[in-house]
Amino acid sequence: MDTEAREAAGAGDEWADVAPDAARRLVRAAVEAFAERGYHATTTRDIAGRAGMSPAALYIHYRTKEELLYRISGIGHEKALAIMGEAAAADGSAAERLAAAVRTFVRWHAEHHTTARVIQYELQALGPEHYAEITALRRRTDRLLRQIIQDGADSGEFRADDVPGTTLAALSLCVDVARWFTADGRRTPDEVGVLYAGLVLRMVGAGAE
Amino acid sequence: MDTEAREAAGAGDEWADVAPDAARRLVRAAVEAFAERGYHATTTRDIAGRAGMSPAALYIHYRTKEELLYRISGIGHEKALAIMGEAAAADGSAAERLAAAVRTFVRWHAEHHTTARVIQYELQALGPEHYAEITALRRRTDRLLRQIIQDGADSGEFRADDVPGTTLAALSLCVDVARWFTADGRRTPDEVGVLYAGLVLRMVGAGAE
């Protein structure tokens, strides 16, 4: 699916907040290039070319290739944190909040699998300060999910023997959707989300089955 | 941990079968280079240099960079298939076989996380014939795990509503260990294996808890 088809399908434009238009085109081009060839094999010239711009035009918006990766990673991680925050803050039982968190988190990783792959696999390419900033966002996301699972364990709704370990596994399961998901596969992003919400509820020992 | 320390810790030399010694050194160097910089950013010159050899000496053993990746991917996937085959063919209940499969599969992905990452993330860099061969190995591994889960569902030992979906999730959970695992983390490879075996048994609805 091209970008327009995806937007029509409801996935939304993940880069809608990047302005001006030229900066947004560069972000899209960088994600594609990093996904295809890897961060280190991609030059700013490649990215500018894909965006139909000159290297000089790229430098108006981003001083370095790393700055582009940082922008992409920041937007992706902020979105992941927002999804988790919304689920954590919602009304309802721990099971309801956990199911909503997994479902929306998985859906995002399936719909934006190219971006999610770049973000996950190129984390080490960030400069030290940017890396520290991004890992702080990741820790906040982790903590939100852990708190939902801890809430369920404390109230007796869940029987999770190892809350940090179960949280780690649940997040890993969701994130890895970006690796294997393809738009032409058998399941839609939402179908994977529903399946995974059910499996994670089982992992935490929710309810009597 | 360096290679010697890892071998002393029982992880074994994953390249022991690659001969002669120069070919083995090149495989090790290629895994390191691909993991650090990505396949496309790595040259055969880089790999030869890491192995303390000349580019000409590399070509005696591998005609192309792709051939090195194919060799690495083949060995890794054969090992994954062997692990799964051993668990599937063992005596015992479906739950015992599933627990053994997950535990050893996870342990391998943790101990050999650098190799496993290269294998997973650079799959698209294989040539068409090699890609087809490797995906055939992957499908065989998938089928073995699916059969264990199906056996448990058929016998009533498991309550897995969606056997293909649950298999997909269980494999994904195991494979993603390679992404997040670090040797200096809180859990050993075997501890992660034990944790994950328990979580996957819950995912398939094994036993009354």
Reading the block at residue A6, the tokens are: 């995806």
| pLDDT confidence tier of residue B13, bands split at 50, 70 and 90 | confident
- From the list B39, B187, B203, the residue facing A202 with the nearest CB is B203
Contacts of A43 in chain B (CB under 8 A): none
Neighbours of B1 (CB within 10 A): 11
If you average pLDDT over residues A12-35, what whole number do you get? 92
For residue A2, pLDDT over 80 is answered with: no
Check whether A6 has a pLDDT greater than 60: no
pLDDT at A11 over 60: no
* Helix, strand, coil percentages, rounded to 5, for chain A: 75, 0, 25
Mean pLDDT of B166-195: 96
CA–CA dist B119, B141 (Å, integer):
15
Q: Do A173 and B175 touch (CB under 8 A)?
A: no
- What is the share, in percent, of chain B residues with pLDDT greater than 90? 89
- Minimum-distance CB partner of A180 among B37, B159, B172: B172
pLDDT for A131 beyond 90: yes
- Judged against a pLDDT cut of 70, whether residue B96 lies above it is answered with yes
Q: Report pLDDT for B10.
A: 43
Residue A12 pLDDT greater than 80, yes or no: no
Mean pLDDT, rounded, for A162-184: 97
B168 chain-A contacts, CB cut-off 8 A:
180
Does the pLDDT of residue A32 top 70, yes or no? yes
For residue A56, is it left (φ>0), alpha (ψ between -120 and 50) or beta?
Answer: alpha
Indicate if the pLDDT at residue B132 is higher than 70. yes
CB contact under 8 A, A176 and B180: no
Lowest mean pLDDT among A169-173, B7-11, B123-127, B161-165: B7-11
Of B2-16, B95-109, B113-127, minimum mean pLDDT range: B2-16
Burial (CB count within 10 angstroms: exposed 0-12, middle 13-18, buried 19+), residue A24: middle
Let me know how long chain A is: 209
Write out the DSSP string of B18-75. Answer: --SHHHHHHHHHHHHHHHHH-STT--HHHHHHHTT--HHHHHHH-SSHHHHHHHHHHH
- Residue B8, pLDDT above cutoff 50: no
CA R_g for chain B:
18
CA distance A97 to chain B (A): 19
Residue A8 has pLDDT above 90, yes or no: no
Residue B5 has pLDDT above 50, yes or no: no
- Interchain CB distance below 8 Å, A179 and B180: no
ipTM of predicted assembly, 2 dp: 0.91
| Mean pLDDT calculated for residue range A60-89 | 96
Instruction: Name the CA radius of gyration of chain A, rounded.
Output: 18
CA–CA distances in Å: residue A174 to residues A80, A107, A151, B29, B111: 11, 9, 20, 32, 22
Three state DSSP letters for A176-207 = CHHHHCCCCCCCCHHHHHHHHHHHHHHHCCCC
Q: Is pLDDT above 90 for A44?
A: yes
Please report the pLDDT score of residue A1 as a whole number.
42
What's the average model confidence in pLDDT over B143-147? Answer: 98
- CA-nearest of A169, A168, A130 to A39 is A130
Q: What is the pLDDT of residue B9?
A: 43
Tokens 């002669």, residue located: B20
Q: B175 CB near a chain A CB, below 8 Å?
A: yes
What is the structure's pLDDT at A4? 46
CA-based end-to-end distance of chain A: 39
Residue of B180, B195, B209 with shortest CB distance to A165:
B195
Instruction: Evaluate if residue A43 carries a pLDDT over 80.
Output: yes
Residue with more model confidence, A70 or A5: A70
Domain ranges in chain B are 3-203
> Would you say domain A3-203 falls under CATH 1.10.357.10?
yes
For position B138, what pLDDT does the model report? 97
Q: Return phi, psi of residue A53, to 5°.
A: -130, 165
CA A40 to chain CA centroid, nearest Å: 21
**pLDDT band at residue B14, thresholds of 50, 70 and 90?**
confident
Q: Which of A72, A12, A16 is nearest to A42 (CA)?
A: A72
pLDDT given for residue B207 in this prediction: 74
